[in-house]
Chain A
Amino acid sequence: DAKTTQPTSMDCAEGRAANLPCNHSTISGNEYVYWYRQIHSQGPQYIIHGLKNNETNEMASLIITEDRKSSTLILPHATLRDTAVYYCIARGVYNFNKFYFGSGTKLNVKP
């Protein structure tokens, strides 16, 4: 699976959009981009995933660049409860079993 690079930490004001970037310049054609988050020491929580097209669900939007070398997770109206570590993962559809969680981005949502 392609390596992903994320900033170590980011701040966001409550009520504003949080835009979390992820670089995956070596991603291959069959690799999906997944986003998970971990609040304190709880189990990681699935947010969204996509292959080529932008995706949106009730939690967030995922914007993938046309060359697929980077993506951005958007939380449209961040709340204090969105403070967490966010993980960007590139995972091939033929890769049995493995999700590789790197260091992630610590998002601090401030009042």
Chain B
Amino acid sequence: EAQVTQNPRYLITVTGKKLTVTCSQNMNHEYMSWYRQDPGLGLRQIYYSMNVEVTDKGDVPEGYKVSRKEKRNFPLILESPSPNQTSLYFCASSLKGYGAEKLFFGSGTQLSVL
């Protein structure tokens, strides 16, 4: 089944403790992206990647890192999480990242930073 898989689904951590949220897609998509969703603010893009080793900042990149060493994986790294990064996170992918494409989303990761 074609899908975007995120792990974990729920994560509770403490301020300053490095964490990684994994994202994997099995559709051979070149484009991958991370969003965060907060009440009243909608979905905001954090980082995106147009292909392996090609990443760029989205609208709210501060405090986050990403890497794209393999086509299928696009992990989100919080090296020193803070409470304002408590949010619902979504990974997404599409074939190329432009044109009349569909964007496929993962099921989300609810992160709480205490």
- Point out residues on A near B: beta carbons under 8 Å: 32, 36, 41-46, 49, 51, 93-99, 101-104
Q: Which of A45, A97, A103 has the most CB of B within 10 A?
A: A97
Of A42, A97, A98, A102, the residue contacting B108 (CB under 8 A) is A42
Report the separation of the CA atoms of residues A100 and B7 in the bound assembly, to the nearest whole angstrom: 24
Stretch at the interface among B12-20, B66-74, B77-85, B94-102: B94-102
What number of B residues sit within 8 Å (CB to CB) of A?
24
B21 to chain A, nearest CB (A): 13
Whether A97 lies near B104 (C-beta < 8 A) is no
B100 and A98 contacting across the interface, CB-CB below 8 Å: no
Tally the A-B contacts, defined by beta carbons under 8 Å: 49
Q: Quick one: closest A residue to B99, CB to CB? A: A93
Of the residues A43, A46, A51, A98, contact of B107 by C-beta under 8 Å: A43
Q: Is A41 within 8 A of B43, CB to CB? A: no
Q: Which residues of B contact A36 (CB under 8 A)?
A: 103
Q: Is the CB of B108 within 8 A of A96?
A: no
**Contact between B50 and A51, CB atoms less than 8 A apart:** no
5 shortest A-B CB distances, which residue pairs? A43-B105, A101-B43, A46-B102, A96-B98, A97-B97
